[in-house]
C-alpha cells in the first residue's frame, strides 16, 4: 500500500489480484492531506479484502444482518414454510428486542435475557425454542462463512428447565376430539353442498391437514380403489401474492384409504362438477399451474382440477375455514374447536376402534410416534374399556362382556420397548402375571 503526493493532493494505491497474469491495483486521489488518504486507503483495502461486502462488523445491526441472512441463505436453501416461520419470529420477537444493536455487541447474556423474558411472558416452550433456533442459525452464518463475529453467542445459552415456573403462565391451546353429538350438529349446520362440508369431512374421515385438503386434486383421488394420494398441499405465498402447490409438510407423501361414505360423497361431487363444467362452458373457471407451481387462470398445458371448487369452478381456499371455525366456536358453542381438531378426532377414533399407532402415524403424516400420541386423547369410550378391564383383573370373574384390549405404544411399535421420541426415556408398562393389560 502506497500513500504519495501528486500535485497539491494526496493519493493511495494498493495491489489487487492479478488478472490474466497482469498486475492490477486500486488507486484513488484528491485527498487534502496524508492522514485523510491513509484512512480512506485502509477502508478501501478492508472492503476489497472482504470481497466487496460494504458492512463492517461494528456497523452492521442485528436487523440488517438477519435480513441479509434471509436473502443470501434462507431464500436459497429453505422451504417457503420455514422461511415464513422465520420471518414471523424475526418480526415479533427478535427485531423488537435486539434488532437495533450492532451484531458485534450481541453477547450470550443478551440472548439469554431474550429467552428468559419470553419465558416469563408466558410463551410456550416450543415458541421460545423456535426463536432460539433462528438466532442460532443466523449467528452461526455470521461466524462462517461471513466471519462477522468470532463465535456464536447462542451456543452458551439455555432454555429454562421444564420444571421452571414463569411469572405469567402460558395459555396452552387444548385441542380435543369432536364428539359424535357435536359432529351431528356440525353436519346439520354445514350440510353437503356447503363449501365447508368436504373440507370438514376430509379432516374428520381422513385426517388431512388444512393445506392438504385445499391442495387436493382429482388426479390424487382413486375412486375405484378408494384411496387418496397425498402428494401436495396448497399454500399462500406472501412474496408473490398467490396460492401455490407445494409438497406436504415434512414431505409426508402418503396414501390414505377412505371409508365408503366419504368415497360416495367424492363420487357425487366429481359428477356434479363435470355437469357444471358442461353447463357453464366458457364461463366455467379453469385453473392451471404456472412455472413456480402457482395457481393461475392463465391457460397453459398444465390444467388442474381441484376437489374443492364452487359451482362455477372458482377455487375454494382455506380462508373459508375462518368463517367455518368462527361459526362452530361462537354460534354452535364449541369454543375449543379449530380445523386441527378434526385430525385429533380422526386419530382418537382410530385408536378407540383398535388401529395401531403406527398406522395412525402413517395416515396423519407424522414424523414420529410421540406426535401421534399427543393427537390421541382419552375419552369416555376408553374409560369404559378400562373399567371393564379393572373388573376383569380384580373382580370376581363374572363379568358379562370381554373387553377389547388396546395395544400399548410399545407393542404397536413392533414389540420394541425402546425410546419413543419425546417421551424422555424408556416407557415401562405394568405386568400382572403372564399377561399385560392396557387401557
DSSP H or E run through 114: helix 108-120
Residue of 267, 250, 226, 282 whose CA lies nearest to 372: 250
For residue range 157-184, list pLDDT tens digits in order.
Answer: 999 998 998 888 876 777 889 999 999 9
For residue range 275-308, list pLDDT tens digits in order.
Answer: 999 999 999 999 999 988 999 999 998 999 999 9
365 with 206: CB under 8 angstroms? no
Q: Using the Cα atoms of residue 325, residue 326, residue 331 and residue 336 in order, give the sign of their dihedral.
A: positive
Query: Residue 425: pLDDT above 50?
Result: no
Give the pLDDT of residue 364. Answer: 96
* Domain ranges (residues) in the chain: 2-49, 62-143, 180-331, 341-412
- Fold match between 62-143 and 180-331? no
Query: Residue 240: pLDDT above 70?
Result: yes
Give the pLDDT of residue 413. Answer: 52
Fold for the domain defined by 180-331? hpI Integrase; Chain A (1.10.443)
| DSSP secondary structure string for all residues of 335-392 | TT--TTHHHHHHHHHHHHTT--HHHHHHHHT-SSHHHHHHH----HHHHHHHHHHHHH
Fold for the domain defined by 62-143? DNA polymerase; domain 1 (1.10.150)
Distance (Å, rounded) from C-alpha 414 to C-alpha 412? 5
DSSP E strands in 280-392: the ranges are 287-289, 295-296, 303-304
For residue range 311-324, list pLDDT tens digits in order.
Answer: 999 999 999 999 99
> At what angle are helices 357-364 and 341-352 packed, to 10 degrees?
150
- Residue 433 grid cell: 402375571
234 with 245: CB under 8 angstroms? yes
303 with 288: CB under 8 angstroms? yes
Distance (Å, rounded) from C-alpha 176 to C-alpha 375? 8
DSSP E strands in 272-379: the ranges are 287-289, 295-296, 303-304
220 with 230: CB under 8 angstroms? yes
Q: Give the model's confidence band at 51: pLDDT under 50 very low, under 70 low, under 90 confident, else very high.
A: low
Distance (Å, rounded) from C-alpha 239 to C-alpha 39? 42
For residue range 108-134, list pLDDT tens digits in order.
Answer: 999 999 999 999 999 988 899 999 999
Distance (Å, rounded) from C-alpha 99 to C-alpha 64? 8
What phi, psi does 359 have (nearest 5°)? -65, -40
Contacts for 84 with CB less than 8 Å, ≥ 6 apart? 238
Amino acid at each position: 500500500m502506497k500513500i504519495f503526493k501528486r500535485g497539491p493532493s494526496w493519493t493511495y494505491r494498493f495491489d489487487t489480484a492479478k488478472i490474466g497474469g497482469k498486475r492490477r491495483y486500486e488507486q484513488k486521489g484528491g485527498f487534502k492531506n496524508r492522514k485523510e488518504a491513509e484512512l480512506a486507503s485502509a477502508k478501501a483495502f478492508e472492503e476489497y479484502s472482504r470481497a466487496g461486502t460494504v458492512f463492517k462488523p461494528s456497523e452492521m445491526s442485528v436487523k440488517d444482518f438477519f435480513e441479509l441472512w434471509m436473502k443470501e441463505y434462507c431464500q436459497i436453501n429453505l422451504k417457503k414454510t420455514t422461511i415464513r416461520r422465520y420471518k414471523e419470529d424475526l418480526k415479533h420477537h427478535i427485531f423488537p428486542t435486539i434488532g437495533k444493536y450492532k451484531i458485534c455487541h450481541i453477547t450470550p447474556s443478551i440472548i439469554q435475557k431474550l429467552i428468559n423474558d419470553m419465558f416469563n411472558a408466558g410463551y410456550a416452550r416450543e415458541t421460545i425454542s423456535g426463536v432460539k433456533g433462528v438466532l442460532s442459525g443466523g449467528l452461526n452464518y455470521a461466524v462462517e462463512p461471513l466471519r462477522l463475529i468470532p463465535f456464536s453467542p447462542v451456543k452458551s445459552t439455555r432454555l429454562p428447565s421444564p420444571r421452571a415456573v414463569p411469572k405469567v403462565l402460558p395459555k396452552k391451546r387444548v385441542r380435543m376430539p369432536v364428539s359424535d353429538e357435536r359432529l351431528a350438529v356440525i353436519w346439520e349446520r354445514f350440510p353437503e353442498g356447503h363449501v365447508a362440508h368436504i373440507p370438514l369431512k376430509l379432516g374428520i374421515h381422513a385426517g388431512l391437514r388444512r393445506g392438504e385438503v385445499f391442495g387436493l386434486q382429482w388426479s390424487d383421488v382413486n375412486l375405484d380403489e378408494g384411496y387418496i394420494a397425498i402428494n401436495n398441499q396448497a399454500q399462500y405465498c406472501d412474496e408473490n401474492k398467490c396460492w401455490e402447490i407445494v409438497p406436504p409438510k415434512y414431505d409426508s407423501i402418503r396414501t390414505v384409504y377412505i371409508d365408503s361414505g366419504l368415497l360416495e360423497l367424492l363420487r357425487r361431487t366429481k359428477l356434479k362438477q363435470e355437469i357444471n363444467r358442461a353447463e357453464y362452458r366458457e364461463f366455467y373457471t379453469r385453473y392451471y399451474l404456472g412455472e413456480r407451481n402457482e395457481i393461475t387462470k392463465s391457460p397453459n398445458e398444465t390444467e388442474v382440477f381441484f376437489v374443492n371448487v364452487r359451482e362455477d369452478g372458482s377455487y375454494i381456499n382455506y380462508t373459508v375455514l375462518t368463517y367455518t371455525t368462527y361459526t362452530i366456536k361462537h354460534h354452535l358453542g364449541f369454543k375449543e374447536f379449530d380445523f386441527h381438531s378434526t385430525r385429533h378426532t380422526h386419530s382418537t377414533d382410530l385408536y378407540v376402534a383398535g388401529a395401531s399407532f403406527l398406522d395412525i402415524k402413517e395416515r396423519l403424516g407424522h414424523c414420529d410416534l410421540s406426535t401421534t400420541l399427543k393427537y390421541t386423547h382419552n375419552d369416555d369410550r376408553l374409560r369404559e374399556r378400562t373399567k371393564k378391564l379393572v373388573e376383569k383383573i380384580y373382580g370376581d370373574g363374572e363379568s358379562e362382556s370381554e373387553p377389547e384390549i388396546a395395544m400399548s405404544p410399545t407393542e404397536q411399535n413392533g414389540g420394541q420397548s425402546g425410546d419413543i421420541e419425546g417421551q424422555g426415556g424408556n416407557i415401562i408398562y405394568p405386568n400382572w402375571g403372564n399377561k399385560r393389560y392396557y387401557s
